[in-house]
Amino acid sequence: MIHRLSRRITVLELPRFQFPYCNCVWIEDDRTGLIDSSPPDDGQEFLKGRPIDLLLQSHGHLDHCFLTPDLKASQVLMHPADQPMAESADGYLQEFGFNLLVPDKHLHQRYMDAIRYRPIQVTGPLYEGQVFDFGHVQVQVMHLPGHSAGHCGFFFPEQDFVFTADLDLSPFGPWYGNLSCSIADLLASIERLLALKPGFIVSGHGQAIVKEQVPARLKAYRDTIFQREKRILDCIRRGHHTLREIARCLPTYQKLPPPQQVFLLYEYIMDMIHLNYLVDQQQVVCDNQRYYLPA
């Protein structure tokens, strides 16, 4: 679906989640720009033949830069913290925990083949506060880590909206299945969006343009973290003390979608990230890789 926000700004929407695609923002001004590069078929058709001066990648996950190798943008920019997983298969596997939790190297290759991973070439950095002037449209980079270490959003001050990428307001809630993810960073990023009070947001997945009840939806999205926290603490209270035991309770996903092997790995990583946060918050004690509630 193609949405014209203004004469110079267009949203390329995929209304439902479908890997490896996402919602993207196109800017056609004195310079052209694209934020993220994995639009669905109609978005790909829209981009055909259009020169791209700046391709701003919100982060390094494949479903946000899947088509980057085909677009031949003049510049491809990404936060340095996410560049290793975008630029090499080894970096991607490392970030997704395969080297830590999946000893079978054949499964590594099967996963990369299944997701159709292709490395991209990043030509420059994105960083907090950076401003891009396209002519009539200005875009400010907001480093919003947590979903990944280098995850960024993009604020359009004149139009009063933020492209929030994978702070996507999905009913599932925030995803933090990479080794560099952080619950504390996620909570801070969501609070930053709440404090900004944008007129509306453009999400990276699902319904692209969110204008109704933005603060309430951001808070509901944030609160799924606390619901998972309660389920993790309940698992420990019931006598599940290792990461393996806790992950098998599925406090994050509750029910694994297919392929279950892959989503069980995501469950392990997300529970590990959450347990690290709970230890930092002194809500959980870790002793010899076993987790307990404080005495």
Q: Residue 165 — very low, low, confident or very high, per pLDDT cuts 50/70/90? A: very high
Percent of the chain with pLDDT over 90: 90
CATH of the domain at 115: 3.60.15.10
198 and 250 both lie in a single domain: no
Considering the domain architecture, whether residues 10 and 52 belong to the same structural domain is answered as yes
Mean pLDDT (whole number) for 123-144: 97
Q: How far apart are CA 31 and CA 54, in angstroms?
A: 8
36: in domain: yes
On the question of pLDDT at 59 being above 90, the answer is yes
Domain assignment present for 250: yes
Task: Give per-residue pLDDT as tens, 209-230.
Answer: 999 999 999 999 999 999 999 9
Domain boundary among the residues 199, 217, 235 is at 217
Checking if the pLDDT of 51 tops 90, the result is: yes
* pLDDT value at 201 more than 90: yes
Asked whether residue 108 falls in the same domain as residue 207, the answer is yes
Answer whether residue 149 is part of any domain: yes
d(CA 33, CA 6): 14
- Is 92 in contact with 61 (CB distance < 8 Å)? no
The pair of three-digit structure tokens given for residue 11, joined into one six-digit string: 């949203």
Sign of CA dihedral 77, 130, 174, 21: negative
Q: Are residues 198 and 253 in the same domain?
A: no
295 pLDDT exceeds 90?
no
220 three-state secondary structure:
helix
Please give the mean pLDDT across all residues of the chain: 95
Residue 47 included in any domain: yes
On whether residue 294 sits in a domain, the answer given is no
Indicate if 169 and 238 belong to the same structural domain.
Answer: no
Give a yes or no: residue 291 inside a domain.
no
Is 98 in a helix, a strand, or coil? helix
- Contact at 8 Å (CB) between 67 and 89? no
What confidence tens digit (pLDDT) does each residue in 232-267 have?
A: 999 999 999 999 999 999 999 999 999 898 899 999
Q: Rounded to two decimals, what is the model's pTM?
A: 0.94
Same domain for 203 and 80, yes or no, is: yes
In this structure, the answer to whether residues 45 and 16 fall within a common structural domain is yes
| Rounded Cα distance, 267 and 215, in Å | 28
What pLDDT shows up at residue 16? 80
Same domain, residue pair 50 and 75: yes
Domain containing 90 equals: 2-217
Q: How far is CA 206 from CA 17, 36, 254, in A?
A: 6, 15, 21
Q: Estimate to the nearest angstrom the gap between the alpha carbon of 27 and the chain centroid.
A: 21
Closest CA to 142 of 153, 157, 156, 126: 153
Question: How far apart (Å, rounded) are the C-alpha atoms in residues 69 and 116?
Answer: 12
- Same domain assignment for residues 230 and 191: no
pLDDT of residue 72: 85
Residues 238 and 115 in one domain: no
Contact 157, 190 (CB under 8 A): no
Flag whether pLDDT at 15 surpasses 90.
Answer: no
- Examine the domain organization and report whether 197 and 249 are in the same domain: no
Task: Characterise 288 by phi-psi region: left (phi > 0), alpha (psi -120 to 50), beta (else).
Answer: left
Question: Is residue 192 located within the same domain as residue 271?
Answer: no
Number of domains in the chain: 2
Mean pLDDT within 116-123: 95
Residue at 187 is within a domain: yes
pLDDT at 284: 96
Q: Let me know if residue 137 belongs to a domain.
A: yes
Q: What is the pLDDT of residue 17?
A: 82
Q: Is the pLDDT of residue 1 over 90?
A: no
| pLDDT per residue as tens digits for the range 92-116 | 999 999 988 888 898 999 999 999 9
Cis peptide before 174 (omega within 30 of 0): no
- Cβ pair 156, 209 in contact under 8 A: no
Q: Per DSSP, what are the bridge partners of residue 138?
A: 133
